Structure 1
Amino acid sequence: MADTTVTPGHFKVAGREFAAVKWWNLKNLRGTYLLLFFVVLTSATNGYDGSMVNGLLSLKQFKEYMHNPGGSIKGLFSGIMFLGSLLALPITPYIADGLGRRWGICIGSSIMIFAVVLQSASVNFQMFIAARFFLGFGVAIAHGAAPLLITELCHPQHRAIFTTIYNTTWYIGSIIAAWLTFGTNHIAGQWSWRVPSIVQALPSLLQISCVWFVPESPRWYISKGKPERALQILAHVHAEGNAEDEVVQLEYEEIKETLAIEREAESTGWLELFKTKGNRHRLLILVSAGLFSQWSGNGLVSYYITGVLDGIGITDPNTQLVINGCLNIWNCIVATTMCFFVDKVGRRPLFLISTGGMMLCFIVWTICSERYDATKIKGNGSAVVAMIYLYYTSYNVAWSGLLVGYTVEILPFSIRAKGMCYMFAFVDIALFFNTYVNPIALNHIKWRYYIVYCVWLAAELIFVYFFYIETCNTPLEEIAKHFDGDAALIGGFAATEKGRILEQEIHAKDHKEATTNVHEHEEKVGL
């Protein structure tokens, strides 16, 4: 297993330590990180949507226009989006791997803009639901490319922070939508819900306009037979244009050789994650992360906080919107702060602290809900609100950011796009089930539904303890050692024994082909 220790103030590449860089002092690195803001907007769009639906379901104007939808229709408003995402997943890796990470973002954003136009012009709930299907379809394509570009472009010292920040920007979109719907609640007509819907197009418009200024993934260029372009980007972003920089050269050789080995091993198919012990371990993490990130009780608040608050006597729309808006601000602060502790504390400890904290908070949340239902004492209802905040504090310790940050880094390049589709598929399955079932369950059995999540969270904690492993302070290509050991397909200066053997075979094959070509040429010219 790879060594995860590193001297403070240093980072590792190919088993060697280098002094940490200050990105704000480096023009190219600083500029690239500022441009990556437009890449992370994909997650912000998703967060905006969740909070907007929550807000719209609190608006009297929206409910009246949609003829006061019942629990099943409310579930369909949210759930159909995740069905759209699920159906888009089979094509997303072919766009990201075939056309490039930037094209994936652009195509997904274009579909989302079309969906927002349809949604904003809706005249009935059927049209609104159709629009949300296309919105989910576009989000999936953009989601399938954006985190790949971030993790493959960032400097090795900052990769963990940036990939973790990606998913936490969900809360930025959520905050904007929560407070926008709070403000439009005071508009008497249909514009109270059409305005938030129209604004949802803004992140996608910014992405289409600005993503082309972000450099493409150097790993993608190498996979397409353009190593010179890849080296140029690595040098530009990681070493201010110096292609001879030692870190750049180590990265370049490791990436180039590793991708060549993966290509030679033909480890690129959808079923690759089932074939080896290391890949099956990765698949367990991908599937569980997708499920746990959404089946931990957070779906009750993310999409149906109105039902939760109604159950504890808080029925005023303004009060519900304020609680939702303040919760999202708190979530954003906690989730963003924890991104800077990913390498310092480690992935595994953060997951364990987060899951254990959620379980304890949810147990108390359930007890307080039962007490309110039995006594109608206002203090018990207030205690539920407090537990919601504490629950989300625990959730944001790990699950909001590391859902993408951890899963994207454990996958080798050859199956990274497809592997992320497995994870997002289970996110969508969980969300579709939750968003459709949660409002129905809350209407029928009220607080008793929370007991299911208490038991499930205990099972999550046990699973995380036994299957989630530490990957901190490890360069992207070398993370394979944590899962595959000496069988890892790694080339360059950090090559495993298997990697060195495959490198020799590739070089021997290339030499043989070159010699054959020379002989054929000599025969043609009569030598």
Structure 2
Amino acid sequence: MGALGRIYRISFLAVIGGALFGFDISSMSAIISTQPYLCQFNERGLDAKGRCLGPSATTQGGITAAMPGGSFVGALVSGWLSDRFGRKRSILIGSLFWILGSILVCASVNIPMLIVGRFVNGFSVGICSAQVPVYLTEIAPPSVRGRLVGLQQWAITWGIFVMYLICYGCAFVEGSGAFRIPWALQMLPAIGLFGGLLREPESPRWLLKKGRETEAQNTLALLHSNGDTTSHFVSTELHQIKTAVSQEQEHADANWSEVFAPTMINRTLIGIFTQVWSQLTGMNVMMYYITYVFTMAGIDDVLGSSAIGFSLNVVMTVPALLWLDVWGRRPPLLIGSALMCVFLTVNAVLLAVFSRTPQPGEFTSASESMAISGAPAKAVIASTCLFVASYAPTWGPVSWVYPPELFPLRLRSKAVALATSANWAFNFALAYFVPVAFENITWKTYVIFAVFCAVMHLHVFFFFPETANKNLEEVAEIFDGEQDGAIKYIGTPAWKTRNDRHARIIRDFMSSDESDIAAGQAKASEAV
């Protein structure tokens, strides 16, 4: 197997950690409207037709929010785990917690037990979602770094889609098996993640940070030059990492206060807001509660129809995997936020003008507070699908790729953990807020998210620099506020930064023999 093929294999294994989050999204989305689930965790009695009404909107929000609540804690802890035990081992620890949480969820007989199980699952997702991007960022060559880290988002979309199909099939099972079987099956990928990643190498940057230079050199050679420790790329990369590590080791071990130091605060805020804005687009909310939207639009086969949205999420993430390193980071963020703002506004207008208050007993959930039919209902469904198609190749993958690129090695695990914890904090708040919002402010829920998308568009334009195709040790130059034309504590103005992919690929392909530069240039032209 070639060096790049080995990196892809490791990447596909590692991003199973992202798929775990996808499993949770679709298992909850598919199950919350089914009678076995509503009856098992029933709080509100029966309706006139004898159907279980299930948990209240507030309780359902709490059940859903337990997972991101656990993820918030897991993400914060992951920084310490990663620095102490390594990037790979922290992911392995996360997979074990997922198995434990899945056992608790599968065996749940009441709401408290379900919440505890989902919190443990969330703890696992928090660890994996924070440290998988760090691990992949540190093993990937710069010219394909965006593609490899973007696999995290693609794995999430596959997790959503596959688990939704499992839930759809299990919907025909009578009794509690309809939700217990999917919750049991979601353990299998975590078992595969643990077994597969156990044999793979640790991050060479972490190894060097721990003084294990020979292991780091051998790992770089294994990952990038088929074991040739004398290759130009390996020697150059090793030298740059050693330089960065030696500079950082002049200080004591990194602490949380340094993440907020004047010279680092801009990067920290960008990393945090990348994750916060990805939540405030409303995408994960749309995935959790997509069955509500289709029910309100009068769709009879809600589970089957919702699968269209999930499959669209998978397919539309592919362009980002192919071309994210060509596009860069800024253009997808700017285009995605603009398009999502448009489609959220369309949904708000359609529901404000054409929806009506449901008849008593028409829907089982109080969060299904609007009914819309005919052409406007079809337009709502189309707009929802276009929203998903706008998020999938833009904010979805970039929100995972971007934060690890911003920070120096010494602070990377802690800073990315902090940024990811912000993601989960807002995921928790929104998961809890949205059922209540649909119940109380109905279509205005969409207006709130449309405004968020407009604000994030401006934030990205003025403050988010381009980091694509830059060596991790080189990104610091962008944020150097002492350079000519730079802004103190900010660095180079974001709108002036560029993605020079052609130059990057020449450097990646160039060998130690300077006469091979022409060959590197030819390969670069083909790759671009």
Shift of residue 143 of structure 1? 2.5
Contact conserved, 1:100 with 1:220, CA < 8 A, in 2? yes
Match of 1:433 in 2: 429
Is 1:378–2:364 an aligned residue pair? Answer: no
For 1:386, the aligned partner's letter is A
Is 1:154–2:140 an aligned residue pair? Answer: yes
Match of 1:256 in 2: 242
Match of 1:303 in 2: 288
- Of the three residues 187, 191, 196, the one matched with 1:210 is 196
Contact conserved, 1:312 with 1:369, CA < 8 A, in 2? no
Query: Following superposition of structure 1 onto structure 2, how do residues 120-139 of structure 1 map, counting pairs within 5 Å?
Result: 120-139=106-125
Contact conserved, 1:104 with 1:142, CA < 8 A, in 2? yes
Match of 2:27 in 1: 52
Match of 2:278 in 1: 293
Match of 1:503 in 2: none
Measured against aligned partners, the alpha-carbon deviations of 1:155-189 in whole angstroms (never above 9, x if no partner) come to: 33321210122222100100011111111111112
Contact conserved, 2:76 with 2:421, CA < 8 A, in 1? no
* Structure with higher helix content: 1
Distance (whole Å) between structure 2 residues aligned to residue 311 and residue 285 of structure 1: 37
Shift of residue 264 of structure 1? 1.3
User: Relative to 1, partners in 2 of residues 1:213 and 1:367: Cα closer, same or farther, differing over 3 Å?
Assistant: same
Is 1:284–2:280 an aligned residue pair? Answer: no
Contact conserved, 1:354 with 1:398, CA < 8 A, in 2? yes
Distance (whole Å) between structure 2 residues aligned to residue 396 and residue 465 of structure 1: 20
Query: Following superposition of structure 1 onto structure 2, how do residues 74-113 of structure 1 map, counting pairs within 5 Å?
Result: 74-113=60-99
Distance (whole Å) between structure 1 residues aligned to residue 296 and residue 441 of structure 2: 11
The SS at the match of 1:340 is helix
Query: Following superposition of structure 1 onto structure 2, how do residues 124-273 of structure 1 map, counting pairs within 5 Å?
Result: 124-266=110-252, 268-273=254-259
Contact conserved, 2:11 with 2:148, CA < 8 A, in 1? no
Contact conserved, 2:240 with 2:473, CA < 8 A, in 1? yes
Distance (whole Å) between structure 2 residues aligned to residue 29 and residue 388 of structure 1: 37
User: Relative to 1, partners in 2 of residues 1:376 and 1:136: Cα closer, same or farther, differing over 3 Å?
Assistant: closer
Contact conserved, 1:307 with 1:442, CA < 8 A, in 2? no
Contact conserved, 2:126 with 2:421, CA < 8 A, in 1? no
User: Relative to 1, partners in 2 of residues 1:300 and 1:147: Cα closer, same or farther, differing over 3 Å?
Assistant: closer
Match of 1:33 in 2: 8
Distance (whole Å) between structure 2 residues aligned to residue 267 and residue 104 of structure 1: 19
**Given the two structures, how large is their TM-score scaled by the length of structure 1?**
0.84
Distance (whole Å) between structure 1 residues aligned to residue 72 and residue 470 of structure 2: 32
Measured against aligned partners, the alpha-carbon deviations of 1:441-481 in whole angstroms (never above 9, x if no partner) come to: 10122112222122222111111111111112211211111
Distance (whole Å) between structure 1 residues aligned to residue 482 and residue 213 of structure 2: 27
Measured against aligned partners, the alpha-carbon deviations of 1:479-520 in whole angstroms (never above 9, x if no partner) come to: 1111126689xxxxxxxxxxxxxxxxxxxxxxxxxxxxxxxx
For 2:266, the aligned partner's letter is H
Contact conserved, 1:268 with 1:415, CA < 8 A, in 2? yes
Distance (whole Å) between structure 2 residues aligned to residue 90 and residue 310 of structure 1: 37
Contact conserved, 1:165 with 1:336, CA < 8 A, in 2? no
- Of the three residues 449, 452, 472, the one matched with 1:453 is 449
Query: Following superposition of structure 1 onto structure 2, how do residues 277-426 of structure 1 map, counting pairs within 5 Å?
Result: 277=263, 279-314=264-299, 319-373=301-355, 376-426=372-422
User: Relative to 1, partners in 2 of residues 1:486 and 1:238: Cα closer, same or farther, differing over 3 Å?
Assistant: farther
Contact conserved, 1:267 with 1:415, CA < 8 A, in 2? no
**Deviating more after overlay: 467-476 vs 140-149:** 140-149
Distance (whole Å) between structure 1 residues aligned to residue 304 and residue 277 of structure 2: 27
For 2:311, the aligned partner's letter is I
Distance (whole Å) between structure 2 residues aligned to residue 87 and residue 29 of structure 1: 34
Distance (whole Å) between structure 1 residues aligned to residue 417 and residue 395 of structure 2: 18
Contact conserved, 2:68 with 2:122, CA < 8 A, in 1? yes
Question: Structure 2: where are the runs of 5+ without partners?
Answer: 43-53, 357-370, 484-488, 490-528
Measured against aligned partners, the alpha-carbon deviations of 1:91-142 in whole angstroms (never above 9, x if no partner) come to: 2112111111121011111111111111111111211111111111122222
Contact conserved, 2:316 with 2:393, CA < 8 A, in 1? yes
Distance (whole Å) between structure 2 residues aligned to residue 120 and residue 397 of structure 1: 33
The SS at the match of 1:380 is helix
**Deviating more after overlay: 241-250 vs 303-312:** 303-312
Question: Structure 1: where are the runs of 5+ without partners?
Answer: 1-25, 489-527
Shift of residue 87 of structure 1? 2.3
Measured against aligned partners, the alpha-carbon deviations of 1:340-392 in whole angstroms (never above 9, x if no partner) come to: 22221221111100101111111111112223315944110110010011111
User: Relative to 1, partners in 2 of residues 1:57 and 1:162: Cα closer, same or farther, differing over 3 Å?
Assistant: same
Measured against aligned partners, the alpha-carbon deviations of 1:33-62 in whole angstroms (never above 9, x if no partner) come to: 213211100000101100100011122211
Q: CA RMSD in A?
A: 1.7
The SS at the match of 2:407 is coil
For 2:165, the aligned partner's letter is W
- Of the three residues 479, 484, 487, the one matched with 2:475 is 479
Contact conserved, 2:294 with 2:306, CA < 8 A, in 1? no
Match of 1:443 in 2: 439
Match of 2:37 in 1: 62
**Given the two structures, how large is their TM-score scaled by the length of structure 2?**
0.84
Measured against aligned partners, the alpha-carbon deviations of 1:66-110 in whole angstroms (never above 9, x if no partner) come to: 111111111111101111122233321121111111210111111
For 2:21, the aligned partner's letter is N
The SS at the match of 2:168 is helix
The SS at the match of 1:240 is coil
**Deviating more after overlay: 170-179 vs 372-381:** 372-381
**Deviating more after overlay: 84-93 vs 473-482:** 84-93
